[in-house]
Structures are given as C-alpha cells and as structure tokens.
Amino acid sequence: MPRLKIEDLQKIKERHWSEYSLREGGYRAKVTVHMGTCGIAAGAGNVMTDLLAEIANAGAEDVIVTTSGCAGLCAREPMATVEIIGHPPVKYCDLNSEKIKEIFKGHIIGRNPAEEYALSEDMPFFKYQVLRVLRNKGMIDPERMEEYIARDGYQAVVKALTELTHEEIIKVVKDSGLRGRGGAGFPTGLKWEFASKVQSDMKYMLCNGDEGDPGAFMDRSVMEADPHAVIEGIIIGAKAIGAHQGYIYVRAEYPLAVKRLQIAMDQCYDAGLLGKNILDSGFDFDLEIYQGAGAFVCGEETALMRSIEGKRGMPRPRPPFPAQKGLWDKPSVLNNVETLAQVPLIILNGADWYRGLGTEKSPGTKVFALTGAINNIGLIEVPMGIPLKTIIQDIGGGMKKGRRFKAVQMGGPSGGCLPENLIDIPVTYEDIVKSGAIMGSGGMVVMDDNNCMVNTAKFFLDFTADESCGKCTPCRVGTKILLDILTDITEGRGKESDLETLEDLSRDIISSSLCGLGQTAPNPVLTTIKYFRDEFHAHIKEKWCVSGVCRDLCTFLIDEELCNGCGACMRACPAKAIIGEKKKPHRIIQDLCVQCRTCYETCRFNSIKILSAKARETKQAEPVSAER
C-alpha cells in the first residue's frame, strides 16, 4: 500500500464498503471462514479447502470466500458465516467436510439455510454481550488493513495526531475511567499522565501481550483477530506520553498472533502509519515485536522490561515506577492488549459514551475467556457490573448435562475460586476483590463436582512455585512449602494443624513479596480454604476426596441396587478391575483398581459411588447401599 494521507483513509473506507456491500461488488454471496488458532486446530483449513473446491466445481463466480479471526464460540469451531445478498448472515458451527458441502448446495446455491447446523443469533451466548474490544471479531480479515480501515480503523489516530494535544488525549482517557485490563485495574489515563510529565530524551510505549495466566486467551484472540486495533491504541498512547519507540511483548507460545501483528505492522510502515512523520502530522513512532521466552513472571511490568533488555526477567522494587524509570531507565508505559484496543473507541466516541456501560468505578466492558465445565466455551465481552450468574448460566449455557456447579475460578493463579452462593455478585473490580478473587486478565474457568478444590489449589501452587523467579525468598520458598503441604493433604498425610499453617504462611508471602506474582500466589489457597473448608476437612480427617480426584483418598464402589449390569464400565475399565455377569450387578476388585475414574464417568445410572480411602479395606465385598 502506498503512503497514505488522511483523506485517503476516508476514500479506502468508502471504496471498501461498496466493495463489501455485495450488490455493488457484483457478488451474490460471501462466506467467511473463521481462522483463529482454535479454528485452525479444529480443522478450519480443511473446511476452507473443501469449500473452495465446491465453488470451483460449481463454477460459482459470484461467491467470495474470505477469512477472519476467531468468531468467539471456541468449543463449536470450525465455524463459518454465510451472507446471501438481501438476507441476514447465518453462522454455522461444528463444521466438517460433509456439512460445508451440504451448506454450499443447500444454502449458498439453494438459498435455504441449513438450520440444523446454524447458530441462532438470539441465543443467550450472543444476547448479553456488547462488543467493543471484540467489535471486529470474526468480521474482518486481520491480514487486510483495508478491512480494518473500512470499519473506522485509524480514524482515532487521525483525530489524536491532528486535532488533539497530548493533554486532551490524556483527559479523555482519564475521564472515561478506563482501567488497566491486565489485572490490577490501574487507571490508564493516570498512568499516561505520570509518564507524560516526566522530561526525558527518550520514552517507551509498551504493550503487554504476555498472557501467561493458564486458562486465559483474550489477548491472543484480540491480537489474532484484530491486530490493527492494538497498534492503533499503541500509537495514540505514544502520542499521549511523547514516546517515539514502542514494543509489543508477545508470548512465544502464540505464533499466529506474532505473525498477524507482524503483517499488520509491515502494512502500517508501508502506509506511513508507523515510522517518520505519521500521516504528515510530524509525529514519529517506531514499533517492534519482542517475543517472550516462556516465563510467567514476565507479565509483571518491571520483569517484562528487564526481559526486553535481554536479561533474566526478574522484577525490581518500585518506586521508581516505570513511568519515571522503566525500560533502559527511561520513562515507560506498559498497557495490556485489551486496554489498548479500547483506546481508539474512547478517542472517537468520547468519555461519556464509554461510561454509558458499566459502573461508576468500573466503566466499560470486559472481555472474558469462559472455559471449563460449561456448555458454551468461548471468548465473550460483557458490560461491567453484569452478575456473574448471567455469564455462567446464560452466556455460558449452564453446566454440562448432569453436572453440578461447584466453583468458578477467576484471575488464574493470582485469583481465587468462588462458590455457588457468590455467583450473584456483579462483575466489577471492587466486588470481585472483596470476594477474595481478582478480576485478573479475564480468565474464567468453571468447575463442576468432578473437580476437587484441594487439588485445584495444589494445581495453582504447582504453577506458581515453578514460575516464581526466585528473587524474594518468601515467594520462592513459601510457595514450595504451600505446595508440599497441599501435596501431603491430597496424598493422605494431612494434619489438622495444616490449615492454620497454610493460612499463616499465605499471609506472610503476600506481605513480603516484591511483585504481583508473590503477592497473589496464595490467593487460590486462601479462597479454597475460605469457601471449601469442608473439603479440606474431609481430606485431612476422613481421608476422603469426595470428587474422586485424589487417587489415594478414594475408593470406587458399585451400588448394587442401582447397577443393572449393562457392562459399560467393565468394557471401559483400563485395569480390567470390574467383573460381573450380564444384567447382574457388577463389582470392582479393589486390588486391581487404579482409581482412574473411568467407570465413574462411563456409568449412566449413577451406580458408581466414591467413598473414602478407608472404605477400601473393609467394604470390598459389601454392597454399598447397606452402608449408608
């Protein structure tokens, strides 16, 4: 693309709209195949190939095929959207070769939507969402800059570079109340103001795409589906603080995000939206991608800056804050991907518009990665203040069949597990912190009665103990001790005094660690003890893991009254520990049983029961029903 002038943006926008309004382009139908990492892994590439082959075979020249990033409903990938002139678009999910061929013949050629494969737009998954950050999700081809421009792309940069002073930009962002979406929720405008006031020959504008929380994938999706929105936010931030060099720090585990950002940046350099004298406004800004090398702690701002300097990513004490002394000791601002993707909208539409959604202290929308034991797994964006319950039950579509909600884990290893009686709380920074969890970057993992909360706490401590950088002793040693105690409990060596030790040690780690990792690492332990104390007691006193997860603390038995002898468990058992005649109650030979849960998950009649470890010695032959 040649170097752009401001009026060119408008022209591209108009031209592209007409090209994309099917009628004027001379097209009858458009098919968008959604290709994020999830989609590709689920087989979107094959669907695309099959579709192209069908179109070629049929000689259907009036059908265009395009790609986009993720469409949001990750568990139902591969997905595609079919738009026929004069009809509303139809989204298809769970596609494969046969289905796309059928859809091609039935819908694209025959004009009858294949309703059995289609998603309804008024399904609650879509109904409660408000798309701001994800406004272009699944709508544009992320590798084509024109499509971003056609949807008001880079208009905010024009406004910020030509109409607004840096004070005015900061004021709008401050007034909007935008808070950092990386986890802590620090007001973005304030951060920019600090950095803008420091005098320096060099300043840096950084973007944090080191999404390390396990169970979170919001930033990956945004970078993959709409890379230009992130770049636009960075340019505006750079102008606000007066930076001329920037970096996007991306995890090496996200190769597709890196690729798409690089393509987008190359396009910006060609078009004169990055580099010298951007859009002839006199403002210079250079941007580079920096790939991480797999260290969770590098999500912390001072550690991330050390990492860009090419050193071990270890945090340092603050103050001085990065706004004064950051990357290479120069004033630096680090914002999260999602935060920056909000910025162009705020600049274009103003602070009042932004405050139109959300609450007084937590305005706007928040993106969540909704996963775990629910029906609709996906990437969602909701107004702040929405009850947690709405997210889980309506958008998430409730629990998988026959399962009971147990907890929702928010904020990854820094967050906590909230039980059922708390899911009425509104989703805002304040309310979630009050509950003991944190908003975090937006990972939301729903757990059902198949999950053991003690084991979950252990899972997170295993993570933080491994990822602790080792600088502060309380974090390095403390997390290891927490992990050891939790391991003891899950393996049947728990003592009654353990709970107190866990709580005391947790408080010490929180109060004496330097960075966010250590200060929040005990949260999963504290919240599980607070809300699921009974489970800890059962593990310690009765040596009983109710969920049947901790192998040493459970015995699987077949309830002879409920078992109808269908044999499903017998066939599924990998240890061949189940015996029994057809249509007669089966029995588990305890000496052979490896407590793998397979039978429990296979049985459709609820006849497998989980008892404590002690039951194994005594209850071998007895029918279970007699014991209760």
Residues that bind another protein (CB under 8 A): 37-38, 40-42, 74-75, 77, 211-217, 220, 251-255, 290-296, 307-313, 328, 369, 371-373, 377-378, 409, 412, 443, 445-447, 451, 456, 459-460, 463, 467, 469, 574, 596-597
Q: Do 100 and 54 meet the contact criterion of CB atoms below 8 Å apart?
A: yes
534 CB-side CA count, 13 A: 4
Nearer to another protein, 103 or 369 (CB): 369
Q: Give least dist CB 380 to another protein, A.
A: 12
Nearer to another protein, 161 or 305 (CB): 305
- Closest by alpha carbon to 181, among 378, 434, 366, 447? 366
CA distance 361 to 427: 12
CA distance 566 to 35: 43
Q: Tell me the pairing of strands 90-92 and 118-119.
A: antiparallel
For residue 369, report the phi and psi dihedrals to the nearest 5 degrees.
-100, 105
Nearer to another protein, 73 or 236 (CB): 73
Q: Give least dist CB 396 to another protein, A.
A: 12
Sign of CA dihedral 528, 529, 532, 535: positive
Nearer to another protein, 443 or 494 (CB): 443
Q: Give least dist CB 279 to another protein, A.
A: 28
For residue 384, report the phi and psi dihedrals to the nearest 5 degrees.
-60, 150
Extract the tokens encoding 163.
């109409």
CA distance 196 to 173: 13
**Residue found under tokens 């775990």:** 372
Nearer to another protein, 19 or 143 (CB): 143
Nearer to another protein, 41 or 589 (CB): 41
Q: Do 343 and 232 meet the contact criterion of CB atoms below 8 Å apart?
A: yes
CA distance 573 to 594: 10
Extract the tokens encoding 290.
């920096």
Cite the beta strand spans of 233-350 per DSSP E: 245-250, 286-291, 332-336
Q: Give least dist CB 444 to another protein, A.
A: 10
Nearer to another protein, 69 or 292 (CB): 292
Q: Give least dist CB 10 to another protein, A.
A: 36
Q: Give least dist CB 471 to another protein, A.
A: 11
DSSP tag of 120: P
Nearer to another protein, 220 or 609 (CB): 220
Q: Give least dist CB 38 to another protein, A.
A: 5
Q: Which residues contact 292 (CB under 8 A, 6 or more apart)?
A: 210, 249, 250, 251, 252, 298, 307
Terminal-to-terminal C-alpha distance of the chain: 75
Q: Give least dist CB 605 to another protein, A.
A: 21
275 beta partners:
285
Q: Do 80 and 67 meet the contact criterion of CB atoms below 8 Å apart?
A: no
Q: Give least dist CB 79 to another protein, A.
A: 11
Extract the tokens encoding 132.
């701001």
Amino acid identity, residue 234?
Answer: I
Q: Give least dist CB 561 to another protein, A.
A: 28
Q: Do 343 and 170 meet the contact criterion of CB atoms below 8 Å apart?
A: no
Nearer to another protein, 336 or 409 (CB): 409
Nearer to another protein, 188 or 245 (CB): 245
Q: Give least dist CB 458 to another protein, A.
A: 10
Q: Give least dist CB 462 to another protein, A.
A: 9
CA distance 417 to 627: 33
Nearer to another protein, 295 or 333 (CB): 295
CA distance 501 to 256: 44
Nearer to another protein, 77 or 226 (CB): 77
